[in-house]
Amino acid sequence: MPGERKKRVAIADVMLLLGPEYGPFEWEPRFDPASELVYTILSQHTSDINSERAFKNLMATFGSLEDIASASVGDIEDAIRMGGLAKVKAPRIKVVLNQVFEELGSFDLMFLKKLPLDEAKAWLKRLDGIGPKTAAIILCFSLGMPAMPVDTHIYRVSQRLGFVGKKISVEKAHDVLEAKVEAEDVFDFHLYLINHGRQVCKALRPRCDRCVLAWGCPSRAAFERKAKKTEK
């Protein structure tokens, strides 16, 4: 058993033990990089269902990124309203698309795949409102590059397992985890931890009794003590 070999969970244990729980996953591009950029903006602070609906309606309304970029903010807002925060996201989408076009003369971001990872991330983060998470999502999900997107689930689980220090911000966690996970494992690790955070290692009441990593989780004892106090 893993608990007999070591006391703390390692990255290798995550890959070994969470794979059978949630995998296997096969990478394939979700959208082209520029469309992924728009989709990721729409996905901020809303559900996957709402962001997908908003993206589909946006593309059905305008037909192309070129037409979205030249549309009025009000028309973009109307098209994405079902996704939530339309007044914030509509101008952000228009500004970013126009920034890309002004610099490249097109919306073709495939050149990023040829850059070193740090340079590709830096190029994207120069765009208005694009932080490390959005940049990593584009590079990972659209281009298959080993960039580590860190959402609330990954951040929480990584801290509980001791992969990310308590004082490390979510922004810095991207680089910390990228340095610890093998490049070929980044995509799977990302999805394993998201699924584990949603289904088992939940924010308020982690289900340690169902966790295949509980044997080496440094946070388990504290949660179990808290659960016993709650029961009393």
Q: How far, in whole angstroms, is CA 127 from its chain's centroid?
A: 18
20, 63, 90, 123, 186 from 182: Cα distances, Å: 19, 39, 37, 23, 6
Tokens representing 181? 């996970």
* DSSP letter, residue 100: H
DSSP 168-192: --HHHHHHHHHHHS-GGGHHHHHHH
Q: Which of 89, 133, 166, 226 is catalytic?
A: 133
Residues 6 or more apart in contact with residue 93 via CB below 8 angstroms: 38, 41, 42, 68, 76, 80
Decide if 133 is catalytic: yes
Q: Output the six-digit token pair for 28.
A: 């394939």
CA-to-CA distance for 41 and 90, rounded, in angstroms? 9
In the structure, how many helices (H) and strands (E) does the chain have? 13, 0
Give the residue numbers marked as catalytic. Answer: 133
